[in-house]
Structure 1
Amino acid sequence: MVPFRHLALSSAAAALLLAACASDGPPAPPAAPEPSVMHAQLLEDVRILAADDMQGRDTGSPGGAMARAYIIGRLESLGVVAPPMGREQPWEMQGRTREGPKTFNGVNIIGVIPGTRVTDKYIVVTAHYDHVGTNDGQVFNGADDNASGVATMLALAADLKRQAPEHSVFIVAVDGEERGLLGAKHFVEAPPVPLTSISMNLNFDMTARAETDGKLWVTGTYQNPNLRPILELIPANGSVALAFGKDTPQDTGEDNWVDASDHAAFYHAQIPFLYLGVNYHPDYHRPSDDFERITPSVFISATELSIVSFRALDRALDR
């Protein structure tokens, strides 16, 4: 997440979702996935992306290239194919640094999963893989910001390969978020399909540390009120529950997240969006945002909620 000053579904859950599709009444709340080997991989993805040898994953850095190679390998191991435009979407844009503006060369990573019902409409799932790099000899590992969001997105991709989505889906690991949402802006400016074919953006940024308030925040339902009823019936999972807000005119400063992450690029392109992420915590944008600070059970619960949220949106959109 940029500083505010810069402004596997279980068979039971799958059956519940399919039953809701066939019903003429209101949709039943989706159930959470059951524990699986997904959990071990989820934690391993964060551990690797937030390791010291990734050097804080700054855009254009050797550590950023290492993170990109790892994510590409994960997508390919899952069988998530590249779109016709290619797996990598390079870009060159001017972004911010502590010293002032600088030109960055970044690379978005794109995978596509075909849908079964709405094949010509896409849900774009994003999570930025870059972080702020190093400063004064200290590595800012960005375990929560945003190795966690990338890991959640990869867990969703794995779930979608086990059970295909209804909409076609772009899985996009975005670069340059910390430098001004650069990769997301480029994706919207040069999308793999016309913007009119994008049903919505679902953005994951900081999904691990929900123990701060027990909430996985959903930002964007004020701007897209039709999306809120789709998620309101989803129950808490373990110690984590969905919460709605941080998107109204009354939410100011650091309490308004409408422009706080990559979803902002889609919002300003008039594409419906939702942002899922946890609240700020003391390790945010500090060298202490390390893998060891994550409580596995909390992160797993938040990721399962994220997957169930996607499934609910996928089921309800374009009906």
Structure 2
Amino acid sequence: MKYIYLIAFLLVGFASKSQTLNKDIEINDEALLHNLRVLSHDSLQGRFFGTAGNQKAQIYIADQFDSLRIESLLVSGYIQKFRYTFRNEFRQEVYPVSIADKDISRVPDTTVTGGNVLAIIRGETDRNIIITAHLDHLGIQDGRIFNGADDNASGVAALISIAAYFKNKSPKHNLIFAAVDAEEIGSLGAEYLLENFPFPLNTIALNINMDMIAHNDVIQLYASGLFHHPQLKEPLEKLNTLNPDLLYGHDRPGNREEDDWTFSSDHRIFHHYKIPFIYFGVEDHEDYHQSTDTFENINESFYVNAVKLIIEAVESYDTYLYNGIKN
């Protein structure tokens, strides 16, 4: 008799576990990897802010949204141009000049043009979920190209695949896809986006930020931000988090056990505006901010599965936040 009870227990346990697994997410793996390869190619010369390679990346991303027939967020088109003037120490840090020596007053101002790439899939309500990934990287240093495959061509290629997944679906929220510029020098693009957002900021229900999601040898992806927004944990607990292993953390101030990522990427701007965020990323690896961060050094299967998991998360948050408002 005890064997019957044991079998019944195992069946109940299996059924309970199965309820936590969402349907299979289908994406075009080849397109995802192709876009990552293109965005981290030598021809883009590391995509540093204000460079020709960076502008090529903007145009490429805009072309992908256009080919998917996804609407531009702005009436002016997909690319939101912005200008930023670098002065004094910041100018010398980002665009150094030899005449400065130790006299910072000799450093002239310089104004550089950047660009965010923005698209939207409209939902049933006027509430917005903004999915972000920064398109810039470190450019060329000492003759070496810093291609930034994981950081953050991976996030931008994922952004395009997520848009492709949702283009024929009917989300509850507007899904805004934002490939933002100038993260590496202070999230200037994300800040400009929110300062010039076409809708009231109080319509933004959530920011989902992706930065470095393609390179992890132990198959672990982090969802960071739950310390600040514990209510956002429930939708994540409904996901298939077996591959990759979804971990929480890197968001508690003063925690000596792990780095605090609260201000480590573009979600910091949303946090400043008191907009809830979830940041998907991996821990630093040996190729982080090195010229070896190339397509050849990503973990392809991990990356594809990470993107599918993030798509599940977007679906889960879309439903969860909608039901919260409705109730």
For Structure 1 versus Structure 2, the TM-score category normalised by the shorter chain is 0.7 to 0.9
Q: CA deviation at 1:174?
A: 0.2
Change (3 A) 1:57 1:29: same
Check whether the contact 2:118–2:176 (CA below 8 A) recurs between aligned residues: yes
Q: Letter of the 2:72 partner, please give it.
A: A
Uncovered stretches (5+) of structure 2, i.e. residues with no partner: 1-18, 98-108
Matching of residues 64-83 of structure 1 within 5 Å: 64-83=54-73
> Matched residues in 1 for 2:57 and 2:258: separation?
28
Match of 1:228 among 226, 230, 233: 233
Structure number with higher relative contact order (C-alpha < 8 Å, ≥ 6 residues apart): 1
Question: Which residue does the alignment assign to 1:194?
Answer: 200
> Matched residues in 1 for 2:26 and 2:174: separation?
26
Uncovered stretches (5+) of structure 1, i.e. residues with no partner: 1-27
Check whether the contact 1:121–1:168 (CA below 8 A) recurs between aligned residues: yes
Q: CA deviation at 1:88?
A: 1.8
> Matched residues in 1 for 2:64 and 2:145: separation?
24
Question: Which residue does the alignment assign to 2:285?
Answer: 281
Check whether the contact 1:201–1:274 (CA below 8 A) recurs between aligned residues: yes
Q: Number of matched residues?
A: 288
Check whether the contact 1:203–1:262 (CA below 8 A) recurs between aligned residues: yes
Change (3 A) 1:246 1:236: same
> Matched residues in 2 for 1:167 and 1:146: separation?
26
> Matched residues in 2 for 1:97 and 1:41: separation?
34
Could you tell me the percent identity over the aligned residues? 37
Please state whether the residue corresponding to 2:131 is helix, strand or coil: strand
Q: CA deviation at 1:79?
A: 1.2
Question: Which residue does the alignment assign to 1:136?
Answer: 142
Question: Which residue does the alignment assign to 2:311?
Answer: 307
Check whether the contact 1:30–1:312 (CA below 8 A) recurs between aligned residues: no
Question: Which residue does the alignment assign to 2:94?
Answer: 97
> Matched residues in 1 for 2:148 and 2:312: separation?
25
Please state whether the residue corresponding to 1:63 is helix, strand or coil: helix
**Per-residue CA distance 1:80-131 (angstroms, 9 max, x = gap):** 1112443221112246527499643211111010113xx2000011000110
Match of 2:275 among 267, 271, 276: 271
> Matched residues in 2 for 1:84 and 1:150: separation?
19
Change (3 A) 1:282 1:32: farther
Which consecutive aligned stretches of 4+ in structure 1 deviate over 6 angstroms post-superposition? none
Please state whether the residue corresponding to 2:82 is helix, strand or coil: strand
CA radius of gyration, larger in = 2
> Matched residues in 2 for 1:160 and 1:135: separation?
38
**Per-residue CA distance 1:246-298 (angstroms, 9 max, x = gap):** 00123359711100000000000011111001111000000000001112111
Question: RMSD of the alignment, in Å?
Answer: 2.0
Question: Which residue does the alignment assign to 2:8?
Answer: none
TM-score by length of 2: 0.83
Alignment partner of 1:127 is 2:117: no
Question: Which residue does the alignment assign to 1:115?
Answer: 123
Question: Which residue does the alignment assign to 1:9?
Answer: none
Change (3 A) 1:32 1:53: farther
